[in-house]
Amino acid sequence: MVEGAGSSIGSSHHKIDPARGPRVIAYPAMLDVPRELVREVARLLRAERRSRGTRKGSRALTCWFQALLGLAWFRSRGEIALVGAGFGVSRATAYRYRDEVIDVLAAQAPDLHEALQEVAQQGWSHVVLDGKLIRTDRCAETTESVKGETINAWYSGKHRAPGGNIQAVIRPDGIPIFVSDAAPGHQHDLTLAGRRRHRGAELGRRPPRPAHPGRLRLRRHRPGHQDADQAARRRA
C-alpha cells in the first residue's frame, strides 16, 4: 500500500491479501514526488491507452495508480515484485506497467538535433560527448567483426565484460541533454559517435575550429580534463 504526497492512494482493493502468508505484510508509505508529476505521467499513460484502443476498465490499474507504481519504482529502485504487490498486481504485470511508464516518459525526450539546437540558443559554445558501458548479462547474439570473425555482439573487449554502449551529450556544466539508445557493447565510442555525422562536430584529435554562429562544437570527454567554461564559472 502506497500513499502519495498529501493524499491517500492506498485504497482497500489495493491492499495485499493476508491469505498469501504470514510473511506478506502491508504497510503505509509516502511517495515524495509532486502531485503534478503524477498527474502528468497519468495523462501520458491515458493518451497511450487511447492510441492503443484500450477499453475502459480492462486494466488492473487506472492510469493514476500505474503512474504511481512507476514513480514508486523510480524512487526506490526496489524489487519490482514488491512494488507491484503494494498495488495488488503480479510480478509480470508490475514489470509491464513499469516499462509502459518508462516508454511514455522516454517518448517526451528531445532528439539529438532538438537538444543541440536548445543548448545553442542558450549560448553554450560547445557540448561534451561521453560514452558509458552499462553492464548486462551475457547475450547470445553474435555479429561479424571488422576482421571477419564471429564475435559476441554485446561483449566489450575494452571493458572485458558484456554490456550496452550508451552515448551522452552533456552541457559544459554537467547537465545531460541527450542520451542515446543502447548499442551492442562491441562497438567503440568513437565509432558510434562518428555515425551521427554532425556538421561542425569535433571528435577525437581534430584541431579546434572557431565557433560558428548557431553551430556547436562537440568535444570528446577526457578523464581528468576540466572544461574551460566550467573552470571559469568556478573561479567566478
Angle between the 35-52 and 63-76 helix axes, to the nearest 10 degrees?
Answer: 120
Q: Give the span between the Cα atoms of 164 and 171, in whole angstroms.
A: 23
Question: Which of 102, 183, 98 shows the shortest CA–CA distance to 139?
Answer: 183
Confidence (pTM): 0.59
65 and 150 inside one domain:
no
Model pLDDT, residue 204: 34
Question: What's the pLDDT score for residue 197?
Answer: 46
Q: Specify whether the CB–CB gap between 98 and 67 falls below 8 A.
A: no
Same domain, 119 and 220: yes
Answer yes or no: do 95 and 125 share one domain.
no
Decide if 209 contacts 217 (C-beta within 8 A).
yes
Please state the φ and ψ torsions of residue 170, each to the nearest 5 degrees: -130, 140
| pLDDT at 105 (0 to 100) | 93
Indicate the DSSP class of residue 160: T
Q: How many domains does the chain have?
A: 2
Final residue belonging to a domain, choices 77, 106, 135: 106
Same domain for 214 and 117, yes or no, is yes
Convert 167-203 to b/e letters by CB count within 10 Å (16 or more is b): bbbbbbeeeebbbbeebbbbbebeebbeeeebeebbe
pLDDT tens for the chain, 236 residues: list them: 554 444 444 444 455 455 555 566 777 778 888 999 999 999 999 999 999 998 888 999 999 999 999 999 998 888 899 899 889 999 999 999 999 999 999 888 888 888 888 888 888 888 888 888 888 888 888 888 878 888 888 888 888 888 888 888 888 888 888 888 888 888 877 777 666 544 334 333 343 443 443 445 555 555 555 555 555 555 54
Same domain, 78 and 61: yes
Domain that holds residue 229: 112-235
Q: Which of 112, 121, 132 is nearest to 201 (CA)?
A: 112
Please identify, among 62, 89, 106, the residue that sits at the C-terminal boundary of a domain. 106
Would you give the DSSP letter of residue 89? -
| Secondary-structure breakdown of the chain: helix, strand, coil percentages, each rounded to the nearest 5 | 35, 20, 45
- Whether residues 68 and 161 share a domain: the answer is no
Same domain, 79 and 117: no
Cβ contacts of 226 within 8 Å, gap of 6 or more: none
User: Domain end: 55, 73, 106, which one?
Assistant: 106
| Residue 208 C-beta-side C-alpha neighbours within 13 Å | 6
DSSP code per residue over 17-76: PGGG-TT------EE-S-HHHHHHHHHHHHHHHHHHTPPTT-SSS-HHHHHHHHHHHHHH
Q: Are both 88 and 140 inside the same structural domain? A: no
Q: Which long-range contacts link 89-92 to residues 24+ away (Cβ below 8 Å)?
A: 89/60, 89/61
What pLDDT, on the 0 to 100 scale, is given for residue 57?
A: 86
Residue 97 main-chain phi, psi, to 5 deg: -65, -40
pLDDT of residue 30: 83
| pLDDT given for residue 101 in this prediction | 95
Is 79 found in the same domain as 145?
no
Residue 125 and residue 228 in one domain: yes
Are 19 and 77 members of one domain? yes
How high is the pLDDT of residue 7? 43
Residues 100 and 128 in one domain: no
d(Cα 118, Cα 120) in Å, to the nearest integer?
Answer: 5
> Does residue 58 come out as left (phi exceeding 0), alpha (psi in the -120 to 50 range) or beta?
alpha
